[in-house]
Structure 1
Amino acid sequence: MTRITAAVCATHGAPLQIEQLDLRAPLAGEIEVTLEAVAICHSDIHYADGAWGGDLPAVYGHEAAGRVSALGDTVTGLAVGDRVVVTLIRSCGTCPNCSGGKPTLCDTPRANASPLSRQDGTSVVQAMNCGAFASHVVVDQSQVVPLPDDIPPEAVALLACGVITGIGAVVNAARLRPGQDVVVIGAGGVGLNAIQGARIAGARRIVAVDVTQEKLDIARDFGATDGVLATCPAPWKAVQQILGRGADAVIVTVGAIPAYNDAPRYLGWGGKVVMVGMPHSGAMAEFEPVVLAYMAQGMVGSKMGDVVIRRDIPWMADLYRQGRLKLDELVSGRWRLDQINDAIADTKAGGAKRNVILF
């Protein structure tokens, strides 16, 4: 057992508690990672607030970077000391989805119990297969990708979720082609990366739609060619005036029902809405199916950008090293683990792109 420090959610909606937990040694196919950084994602906050239910006590956190500190039996391709990005994408490699190139949809049940426990023996949920609001994690080897030492740990951590989700939604789910037009609804952490993905993919115009002018200004720094306030009357009409037609792809990166209700209105003929942002369970949206049918439009969900992490994360890391992908600029603040509740409050306030806990 390794004694670790973690931020534990004991009650939904309450501040996280800093506790000393026990972390068992890695089993076959698992590795232990001593963390250097973990970013705070809105998904962690929604889970901690009880938006999607879940058992407690639990440790959240799933955008992490660190160094391999122990190996279980049968682990290959990794060594103690390797710098790795730790993701929540755990794949068996053999189920129909994994075999079909969709590891984000792996449907093989988790085989091992949570490696976390309190000192009295009470099991603690390792949320999202990571539990990375902690000094150490034990995860399946399929969840990590080794990356070069010259990339800062904050940048490595961001490649675990927000970056791959945003870029992947454009490149993998929307399959954007050069010269097409994109609307990105929401200019937060994931939205900014969708904008970067559209720029990298060669979009003609990239229109950011958000409720604040401040976020629209930031979106331009990441590649948006235009910005439209979501609070203006019929913002989709303003977007169509900018583009001269409807969009080829609309990427919804916020979990807001009004955004989903309006998303198809931005589309042109044959366009596609890519659904990324996750509303609370039970929330319902409405759309007019006859329009989608007549205009040959579509709506598709995108989980974690439909990425294959061993293919896509090294590609994105190389774009960063070339200066073509902004990661350092996404970091709004650096915090200690004992400041995590302040970092979460700052994230909830809406101004942060990504707050990062450093160990």
Structure 2
Amino acid sequence: MHAFAVLPDDSTIHHLDIPTPVPEGRQVLVKVTRAGVCHTDTHLRTGGYDLGSRGLMNLKDRGFEYPMVLGHEVVGIVEQVGDDVESVRPGNVRLIYPWIGCGECRHCRDGSDNRCAAGRHLGVARHGGYAEYILVPDEKYLVDIDGIDPSWAATLACSGLTGYSAVDKILPLEPDEPVVLFGAGGLGLTAIALLRARGHRNICAVDVAERNLALARNLGASSTVLSGPGTGAKDIRRVIGGPASAVIDFVNNGATATSAFEVLSKAGHMVQVGLFGGEVTIPTALLALRMIHIEGSFVGTLSQLQDLVRIAQSGKLPRIPVVERALSAEAVSGALDDLATGAVAGRIVLTA
């Protein structure tokens, strides 16, 4: 089968021919029709994450295997099933939950695969969706998306699920309590749509691009702040009329994390999502005196994705902008370049 992969110490996307997997047991072979492009793919392509003064977290040194076929936002058509599969059959269109764990630890047994310390995520530790086919290790990870546009549905597997999980962590709040979101790309726009769908009214989006802020207002942000040199917590507080009850940081670099902490009210909730890297210094006494709750958030559970899809099917979730491009080595490379430089409003989905 055709696959588009990154090699070790080489950011070029290569066109490879690799054997087509044959499903066994509860495994399902899916023919890829949609593959979303995510910021996580840009980090996997460059080989690591910025840890500030601790340097680079090198993925190859941590056991990640190359060549790596990226792509974890995948919709496709069931091509072939293992002998023990009961819930799907060839021809079914399904969204894939990619955040798969070891299947044995307590987190996996509880349905929280995303918390597994030995995760075997599709598009990360297993070959992903930038390919002709993808092998799903268990039929339970396939989600029916009947009635939803497949390109938009693909984004729900990561940007949608990540936004849903982060919003889950700050709610319930009173509808008019200020919530600040750093980053109005695909993740931030999804979170705004979800907050509005769940009845929240006071939402401030912060971004470096006015184009993204315009989209945020269209999706329901009640206020926006154009970030730039010299912009800080005081500017955000002035716009929202005081401190924020909660902050979700979809950028999560040193500057945004610092502003996120400073903008919070007493007993405020700070959810760190983005992987742009860096570090932040927080006064420990203030952390205790102000009773600030800081929490990291990484994607979400299979049950949360199923809930999110049901919300989308109900028509209560506004659709974020999606740009479609053909699935090829050149398109994967170009999409990752555009994403890394901030040249994309919404999400890119590659179509086969």
Instruction: Using structure 1 for the length normalisation, give the TM-score.
Output: 0.86
- Where 1:47 maps in the other structure, the secondary structure is helix
Would you say 1:341 and 2:333 are equivalent positions? yes
- How many Å separate the matches in 1 of 2:32 and 2:318? 22
How far did 1:159 drift? 1.2
Q: Counterparts of 1:172-183 in structure 2 under 5 Å?
A: 173-179=169-175, 180-183=177-180
Note the aligned Cα RMSD (angstroms): 2.4
Q: Which amino acid aligns with 2:171?
A: R
Correspondence for 1:292: 287
Query: Gaps (5+ residues) in structure 1?
Result: 115-124
Q: Which residue in 2 is equivalent to 1:117?
A: none
Whether the 8 Å CA contact 1:8–1:16 is kept in 2: the answer is yes
Query: 1:302 aligns to what?
Result: 297
1:56 to 44, 63, 66: 66
**Does 1:355 pair with 2:348?**
yes
1:177-196 to structure 2, matched below 5 A, reads: 177-179=173-175, 180-196=177-193
- Aligned length in residues: 336
2: CA distance between counterparts of 1:234 and 1:146?
A: 42
Paired AA for residue 162 in structure 1: S
In the alignment, does 2:105 pair up with 1:86? Answer: no
CA distance in 1: counterparts of 2:89 and 2:266, whole angstroms: 51
Deviations 1:184-239 (A, max 9, x none): 00111111112122222322310011112222111111221111122263532222
Change (3 A) 1:207 1:142: farther
Return the offset for 1:6. Answer: 0.8
The Cα shift of 1:300 comes to 0.3
**TM-score, normalization: structure 2?**
0.87
Match 1:323 to one of 298, 305, 315: 315
Note if contact 1:176-1:249 (Cα within 8 Å) is conserved in structure 2: no
Q: Would the alpha carbon gap of residues 101 and 6 (structure 1) be closer, same or farther in structure 2, given more than 3 Å must change? A: closer
Q: 1:126 to 1:213 in 2, by over 3 A?
A: closer
Higher relative contact order (CA 8 A, sep 6+): 2
Gap change, CA 1:225 and 1:168, over 3 Å in 2: same
How has the CA–CA distance of structure 1 residues 241 and 275 changed in structure 2, closer, same or farther, with 3 Å as cutoff?
same
Task: Specify the alignment match of 1:165 in structure 2.
Answer: 162
Unpaired runs of at least 5, structure 2? 50-58
Partner SS for 2:11: coil
Q: 1:330 is aligned with what amino acid? A: P
Percent identical among aligned pairs is: 27
8 Å CA contact retained: 1:90, 1:142: no
2:27 matched residue in structure 1: 30
Of 130-139 and 71-80, more deviation after overlay is shown by 71-80
Aligned to 2:228: 231
In 1, Cα distance between equivalents of 2:341 and 2:140: 31
